[in-house]
A and B are shown apart, each in its own frame.
Chain A
Amino acid sequence: AQKVTQAQTEISVVEKEDVTLDCVYETRDTTYYLFWYKQPPSGELVFLIRRNSFDEQNEISGRYSWNFQKSTSSFNFTITASQVVDSAVYFCALSDPNQTGANNLFFGTGTRLTVIP
């Protein structure tokens, strides 16, 4: 069965600090997709990144970077030089097309990040 674990419930950092959000996933299949979404206080889930299971290259987008390691079933997210606008709940999610034709997302419980000015 699919499972996504975000062990960090809440994290607080001071502005300009770097912060890493952890995500560990479980799936039986070799083909799957991993996602990160941001949910600001307004409530809308904002897509940040998608990774497929065959692409282990790390990715950097501005202040955001992602570290995908299949050996440890982890897909961690780092924000460099955090800003107050980064304050939100961040969700890691897994999609396993072999298990469900819907490609629906299995979400973790989220990590609430607070950036203190």
Chain B
Amino acid sequence: DTGVSQNPRHKITKRGQNVTFRCDPISEHNRLYWYRQTLGQGPEFLTYFQNEAQLEKSRLLSDRFSAERPKGSFSTLEIQRTEQGDSAMYLCASSLGRYSNQPQHFGDGTRLSIL
């Protein structure tokens, strides 16, 4: 049973560029979450998928951010026209279950640095 996998581990880009991150959840986990973590803070919720449906978005998720989960498997998070304030660790988590509150299992994250 492999864990949650995120790629790339690190991304350095210039301000204004677009970036895309990928998350492969634990197989058969129907719930998938994206969080953002800045230095010295706890992770903050961005968005949630149940299977392929994006059911909830945080107000932190500006219109420059878009996430997809085609076919209910892997997910991508794209940030367009990156800004300095986007520099953070982007974490993906997955869990199993429709109604229960099962623990979320996290990947290693993608660290984004904006030059």
Contact = CB atoms under 8 A, between A and B. Distances in A.
Determine if chain A interacts with chain B. Answer: yes
Interface of A: 4, 33, 35, 37, 42-47, 50, 52, 91, 93, 95, 97, 100-110
A102 B45 contact: yes
A50 to B, nearest CB: 5
Given A43-B89, A52-B101, A109 B40 contact: yes
A102 B48 contact: yes
A104 B48 contact: yes
Given A108-B42, A109-B40, A101 B107 contact: no
Contact of A42 (B44, B95, B108): B108
B109 A44 contact: yes
6 contacts: A43-B111, A50-B101, A95-B101, A103-B31, A103-B95, A105-B33
Given A100-B56, A109-B42, 11 more contacts: A37-B106, A43-B111, A44-B106, A44-B108, A91-B43, A101-B55, A101-B56, A103-B95, A105-B45, A109-B41, A110-B42
B46 to A, nearest CB: 9
A102 B108 contact: no
Contacts of B48: 102, 104
Contacts, number: 62
Contacts of A95: 101
Contact of A107 (B44, B101, B105): B44
Given A93-B42, A109-B40, A109-B41, A45 B106 contact: yes
Contacts of B105: 47
Contacts of A107: 42-44
A109 B37 CA distance: 10
B91 interface: yes
B66 interface: no
A4 to B, nearest CB: 8
B43 A105 contact: yes
A93 B103 CA distance: 11
A105 B36 CA distance: 12
B104 interface: yes
Interface string B16-47: 00000000000000010101000011111100
